[in-house]
Amino acid sequence: MKSVVGMVVSNKMQKSVVVAVDRLFHHKLYNRYVKRTSKFMAHDENDLCNIGDRVRLDPSRPLSKRKHWVVAEILKKARIYVPPSAGDSSASNTAGMKSSASSTS
């Protein structure tokens, strides 16, 4: 088997991810290209993958009942929104300035 490229759709397990792999094939009757998606479970040793990452999977020996792939590399990391934390000094400064401005008016 050869390597496949797909998108991480779940990382809720320890050291495992679910990767959706798209493929196109030509439909003989309709003479159109049809897109099909296969979902593979893959081993992620260091838990580096997040949802939305584009990864390359290499085949391996069976690691469990459904896991026969290993994450070889992360091709593109997903952009993840990180909300400002409550302990951030700039966020608390801004809130403090707003409350002091409203109390002086």
DSSP per-residue codes, 68-95: EEEEEEEEEPPP---PPPTT-HHHHHHH
Cα 100 to chain centroid, rounded:
42
For residue 81, the model assigns a pLDDT of: 74
Domain ranges in the chain are 4-80
Is the pLDDT at 52 greater than 90, yes or no? Answer: yes
d(CA 9, CA 15): 14
Structure confidence at residue 17 (pLDDT): 98
pLDDT band with cut points at 50, 70 and 90 for residue 19? very high
Q: What is the CATH number of domain 4-80?
A: 2.40.50.140
For the residues 76-85, what does the mean pLDDT come to? 84
Q: Give yes or no for residue 45 having a pLDDT over 90.
A: yes
What tokens appear for 57 in the block?
């999977």
Residue 92 has pLDDT above 60, yes or no: no
Look at residue 70 in the predicted model and tell me its pLDDT: 98
pLDDT range class, residue 1, cuts 50, 70, 90: confident
- Where does the pLDDT of residue 80 fall: very low under 50, low under 70, confident under 90, or very high at 90 and above? confident
